[in-house]
Amino acid sequence: MNTKKMIATIAFAAFITLPGLAFGDNIQLDETFARVKIWLSQQNLTMTGGPDNARDDLAAFGQGEIVFYGEAVGNPEHQTLAQREMMAKRAAVVMAQTALVEYLEGFALVSDSLVENAMTKYNVIRTGVTGFVRGTQVVYQEYNREKDVAVAIIKVGLHGPKGFGSLMYEKLLNDPDAKKTLDSGKPAFKAAPVPLDTVYDGLIVDAVEQNFKPAFINRIFTAKGEVLYDPAKIGKKVLVEQGCGEYANSIDKAKAALATRGVKNPLIVKAAGSVSQADLQVADEDALTIFSANLKSGFFTSAKVAFVLQ
For the stretch 83-116, pLDDT in tens is 888 899 989 988 888 888 777 766 656 555 555 5
What is the C-alpha to C-alpha distance for residues 212 and 129, in angstroms, rounded to an integer?
A: 25
What is the C-alpha to C-alpha distance for residues 216 and 32, in angstroms, rounded to an integer?
A: 34
What is the distance of C-alpha 149 from the center of its chain? 29
User: What distances in angstroms separate CA 132 from CA 160, 175, 208, 302, one per listed residue?
Assistant: 14, 17, 32, 26
Contacts of 194 by beta carbon, 8 Å cutoff, 6+ apart: 288, 289, 292
Q: What tens digit of pLDDT does each residue of 34-66 get?
A: 788 888 889 888 888 765 556 788 888 888 888
Q: What is the DSSP letter of 180?
A: G
Q: Backbone dihedral region of 97: left (phi > 0), alpha (psi from -120 to 50 degrees) or beta?
A: alpha
**Where is 219: in which H helix or E strand?**
strand 219-222
Report the pLDDT value the prediction gives residue 79, as an integer from 0 to 100: 73
Q: How confident is the model at residue 222 (pLDDT cuts 50, 70, 90)?
A: very high
> Quick one: angle between helices 123-134 and 3-17, nearest 10?
30
What is the C-alpha to C-alpha distance for residues 279 and 273, in angstroms, rounded to an integer?
A: 9
Report the pLDDT value the prediction gives residue 61, as an integer from 0 to 100: 84
Q: What tens digit of pLDDT does each residue of 197-206 get?
A: 999 999 999 9
What is the C-alpha to C-alpha distance for residues 191 and 93, in angstroms, rounded to an integer?
A: 53
> Quick one: angle between helices 123-134 and 164-174, nearest 10?
160
What is the C-alpha to C-alpha distance for residues 265 and 245, in angstroms, rounded to an integer?
A: 16
Q: What is the DSSP letter of 285?
A: H
Q: What is the share, in percent, of the chain residues with pLDDT greater than 90? A: 34
Indicate the average pLDDT of the chain. 79
Span of 32-36, 245-249, 264-268 with lowest mean pLDDT: 32-36
CB 106 within 8 A of CB 198: no
CB 220 within 8 A of CB 274: no
Structural domain boundaries of the chain?
3-176, 183-308
User: What distances in angstroms separate CA 99 from CA 15, 187, 189, one per listed residue?
Assistant: 16, 39, 41
Q: What tens digit of pLDDT does each residue of 120-172 get?
A: 455 555 555 666 666 688 999 999 888 888 999 998 888 777 777 777 777 77
What is the distance of C-alpha 220 from the center of its chain? 19
In single-letter form, the type of residue at position 26 comes to: N
Does the pTM surpass 0.85? The reply is: no
Q: Backbone dihedral region of 225: left (phi > 0), alpha (psi from -120 to 50 degrees) or beta?
A: left
Asked if residue 271 has pLDDT above 90, the reply is yes
Q: What is the DSSP letter of 210?
A: S
User: DSSP letters of 123-148?
Assistant: HHHHHHHHHHHHTPEEEEEEEETTTT
